[in-house]
């Protein structure tokens, strides 16, 4: 194992120029990647904190999933300083917008031993909570060496990710075995995580923390105000978290929808900020009357496509839609979170590629809360059917909301594990 770790670490150091090049390429499209790059090597001003509770969430999606747990931890441990790390600028921006100076936010350093040690020397955690699928061998090993208990929360592992470990799998197995506890989202995830090295007595099925998200009480009023501004009776659908190659299908579907409903409005929300401008251009080249959130603030009565090119507002626009298509599912990305529209009783449509959310999507479809489509043509036809059938929309929305509420409770189960980790020995806790 020492030899494997040496080879892995040497490879990481050799790949550092490539990683920096990739960071620079991203920075050309999204300048925030050029900022705070020193943090990615563990260089930042010492915040002078001790015994912190550290939560790591890669990007905005993981931050949103972690928020109910972070809020609960803050209530349970009000005296503890909190450190929230991310990898992407969108995740960092979300943390800073929601929590401000209540937490210390930096980027997680690359998985280089010296960088990790510098990071830990400055934040001095008493507990590490790593969200979902972030298994970095050196990070886990250094935490173990420093006796920092590490919990993998909301843990999931797709079949694709499981196979992707390849030659570093023995190292990943050893790293995961060093975690104090692994709280899996589902039985399928737990099985793969056990095969990857999680100790059975420190592995449990906790459900998905995303079910514990809270819906802001003012959301309904905000949605009604928006719909009044752009036309209260207009049919409105949203294509959320779309990826490259997916907008073309969405616009093709919208063309069919406009043929049936000439006043229909599409709310288009690209997943990544660096693609905002290209997507706006694509909409206008398709001949659609297009406005944007950043420049125009709101759609007007004659807007055919409204591009939401801002961050942190997706829930608000979900609430204002009649039907929600959740992106990343018409292209081989693996899909995104279907629970947000479900929590708002908005009917959900997904494409065929949902391997990142297999069990959640399957349970929603089985509950009659979501519909699956194969391509752009079927997407347009399905949205047309839903927009034309208010009772069907209501039935799907109610089923989704009921399924969402039925699965809540993962945060409380995870809090129980945190308490056991901090206060005593940990035994298996099953849902």
Catalytic residues: 62
H-run or E-run covering 96: helix 89-99
Query: Which of 171, 156, 150, 158 has its CA nearest to residue 418?
Result: 150
Question: Is the dihedral angle over the CA atoms 277, 279, 284, 290 positive or is it negative?
Answer: negative
Instruction: Return the H-helix or E-strand segment holding 236.
Output: strand 236-242
Between the alpha carbon of residue 37 and those of residues 20, 94, 225, the distances in Å are: 9, 18, 40
| 3 state SS of 70 | helix
Side-chain half-sphere exposure of 308, counting CA atoms within 13 A? 23
The full length of the chain comes to 431
Provide the strand spans (E) within 332-394: 348-350, 370-372
Contacts of 270 (CB under 8 A, 6+ apart): 241, 242, 243, 247, 276, 279, 307, 309
- Taking the C-alpha atoms of residue 302 and residue 370, their distance in angstroms, rounded to an integer, is 30
Residue 209: CB atoms within 10 Å: 27
The Cα 38–Cα 85 span in angstroms is 14
Count Cβ neighbours within 10 Å for each residue of 76-93 and write b for 16 or more, e otherwise: ebeebbbbbbbbbbbbbb
| Beta-carbon count within 10 A of 257 CB | 23
Task: Collect all residues with Cβ–Cβ distance below 8 Å to 200 and sequence separation of at least 6.
Answer: 194, 428
> By the 8 A CB rule, do 412 and 431 touch?
no
Which residues have a Cβ under 8 Å from the Cβ of 168 and sit 6 or more positions away?
4, 8, 137
């Amino acid at each position: 194992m020492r030899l494997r770790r040496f080879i892995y670490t040497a490879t990481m150091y050799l790949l550092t120029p490539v990683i920096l090049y990739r960071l620079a390429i991203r920075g050309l499209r999204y300048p925030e990647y050029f900022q705070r790059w020193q943090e990615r090597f563990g260089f930042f001003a010492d915040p002078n904190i001790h015994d912190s509770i550290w939560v790591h969430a890669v990007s905005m999606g993981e931050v949103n999933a972690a928020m109910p747990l972070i809020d609960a931890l803050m209530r349970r441990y009000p005296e503890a300083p909190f450190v929230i790390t991310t990898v992407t600028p969108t995740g960092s921006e979300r943390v800073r917008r929601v929590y401000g100076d209540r937490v210390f936010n930096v980027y997680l350093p690359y998985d280089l031993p010296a960088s990790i040690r510098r990071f830990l020397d400055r934040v001095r955690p008493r507990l590490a909570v790593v969200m979902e699928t972030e298994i970095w061998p050196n990070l886990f090993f250094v935490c173990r060496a420093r006796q920092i208990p590490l919990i993998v929360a909301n843990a999931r592992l797709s079949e694709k990710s499981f196979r992707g470990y390849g030659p570093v799998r023995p190292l990943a197995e050893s790293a995961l075995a060093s975690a104090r506890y692994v709280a899996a989202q589902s039985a399928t995830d737990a099985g793969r995580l056990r095969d990857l090295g999680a100790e059975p007595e420190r592995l449990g099925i906790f459900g998905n923390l995303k079910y514990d998200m809270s819906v802001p009480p003012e959301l309904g009023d905000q949605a009604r105000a928006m719909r009044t501004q752009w036309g209260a009776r207009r049919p409105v659908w949203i294509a959320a978290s779309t990826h490259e190659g997916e907008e073309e299908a969405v616009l093709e579907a919208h063309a069919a929808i406009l043929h049936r409903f000439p006043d229909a409005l599409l709310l288009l929300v690209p997943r990544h900020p660096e693609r905002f401008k290209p997507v706006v251009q694509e909409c206008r080249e398709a001949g659609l009357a297009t406005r944007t959130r950043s420049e125009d603030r709101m759609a007007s009565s004659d807007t055919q496509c409204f591009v939401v090119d801002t961050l942190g507002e997706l829930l608000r626009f979900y609430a204002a839609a009649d039907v929600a298509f959740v992106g990343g599912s018409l292209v081989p990305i693996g899909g995104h979170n279907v629970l947000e529209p479900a929590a708002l009783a908005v009917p959900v449509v997904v494409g065929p590629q949902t391997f990142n959310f297999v069990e959640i999507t399957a349970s929603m479809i089985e509950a009659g809360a979501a519909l699956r489509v194969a391509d752009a043509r079927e997407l347009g036809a399905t949205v047309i059917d839903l927009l034309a059938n208010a009772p069907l929309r209501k039935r799907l929305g109610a089923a989704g909301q009921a399924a969402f509420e039925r699965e809540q409770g993962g945060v409380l189960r995870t809090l129980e594990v945190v308490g056991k980790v901090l206060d005593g020995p940990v035994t298996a806790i099953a849902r």
